[in-house]
Amino acid sequence: MSTLEIKDLRASVTTDEGAKEILKGVNLTVKSGEIHAIMGPNGSGKSTLSYAIAGHPKYEVTSGEVLLDGENVLEMSVDERARAGLFLAMQYPVEVPGVSMSNFLRTAATAVRGDAPKLRHWVKEVKEEMAKLEISGEFADRSVNEGFSGGEKKRHEILQMALLKPKFAVLDETDSGLDVDALRVVSQSVNEVAESTDIGVMLITHYTRILKHIQPDVVHVFADGKIAESGGKDLADELEENGYVKYIGKPEPARI
């Protein structure tokens, strides 16, 4: 049983006009086995929150804490956070030319597990996970994310999550850009990882669409750099109905 605590987290980016505060005091606690949907309009700071947790160098945390079982994550390097059990499925996964997906996955698994997985088991494990996500085998030889479609990138993010088995995963708009089939497949994999491990999930999304496939335990509305409201499934239904107008003062639908 693990706990991820985010306490009064503030973060800013440096722009041409100086530092711009984006996270304005985020408070959130996620426990193993829980799925928290974090729903917010465009530009509210959802990706910034994910990056701040993962340790992206562009975002400077100005105050607050992120604790993983009491350990201060903010003092760890990016790779240490991942090895401590944090995972971020990115909204825009990065292309790494010339590095094959298979080499990348194995290097990552070796780093996170502490030992190189036995080759024979590993090959089987990767094949099985790829099959579940309906990823064709040829992707193993392709460069990381290079030339992948949006949906292919998202499937590979979830593939990595399934292989690295983190304690906590932040899924940043994993649903965006997925067609109906891809959304089903990706959601199934997330559900399966959630059932077979004790993972805690922060499911970041703009739309209610993915919540038909993945049942959240808690729903949070994220607006203007912090959590504006928290509730159960009914909060998502309300957003579905009324959009974000109540939080941002102008209409922005939460369903497509």
Ligand X SMILES: Nc1ncnc2c1ncn2[C@@H]1O[C@H](COP(=O)(O)OP(=O)(O)O)[C@@H](O)[C@H]1O
Q: How far apart are CA 35 and CA 90, in angstroms?
A: 17
Strands (E), the chain: 3-15, 18-31, 35-39, 59-68, 71-72, 86-89, 96-100, 143-144, 168-172, 200-205, 218-223, 226-231
Nearest alpha-carbon partner for 82 in 98, 68, 92: 68
Indicate whether 58 belongs to the interface with ligand X (CB under 6 A).
yes
From the list ligand X, other proteins, Mg ion, none, pick the one residue 77 interacts with, judged by a Cβ distance below 5 to 8 Å according to partner type. Answer: other proteins
Among 4, 12, 28, 48, binds ligand X (CB under 6 A): 48
Indicate whether 42 belongs to the interface with ligand X (CB under 6 A).
yes
Indicate whether 47 belongs to the interface with ligand X (CB under 6 A).
yes
From the list ligand X, Mg ion, other proteins, none, pick the one residue 70 interacts with, judged by a Cβ distance below 5 to 8 Å according to partner type. Answer: none
Indicate whether 90 belongs to the interface with other proteins (CB under 8 A).
yes
Minimal distance, residue 247 CB to Mg ion, in Å: 16
Q: How far is CA 46 from CA 124, 142, 230, in A?
A: 35, 30, 15
> Listing from the earlier edge strand, what are the strands of the sheet with 226-231?
86-89, 168-172, 200-205, 35-39, 218-223, 226-231
Residue 142, amino acid? R
Q: How far apart are CA 143 and CA 64, in angstroms?
A: 37
Q: How far apart are CA 40 and CA 28, in angstroms?
A: 15
- CB count within 10 Å of CB 180 equals 8
- CA–chain centroid gap for 38, Å, is 10
Minimal distance, residue 242 CB to ligand X, in Å: 19
From the list ligand X, other proteins, Mg ion, none, pick the one residue 122 interacts with, judged by a Cβ distance below 5 to 8 Å according to partner type. Answer: none
Stretch that binds other proteins, among 22-30, 52-60, 197-205, 213-221 (CB under 8 A): 52-60
Indicate whether 15 belongs to the interface with ligand X (CB under 6 A).
yes
Nearer to ligand X, 42 or 77 (CB): 42
Residues numbered 97 to 136 that lie near other proteins (CB under 8 A) are 97-99, 103-104, 107-108, 111-112
Minimal distance, residue 68 CB to ligand X, in Å: 21
Nearer to other proteins, 29 or 100 (CB): 100
Q: Could you list the residues that contact ligand X (CB under 6 A)?
A: 13, 15, 22, 40, 42-48, 58
Q: Could you list the residues that contact other proteins (CB under 8 A)?
A: 54-57, 77-79, 81-83, 87-88, 90, 93-99, 103-104, 107-108, 111-112, 143-144, 160, 164
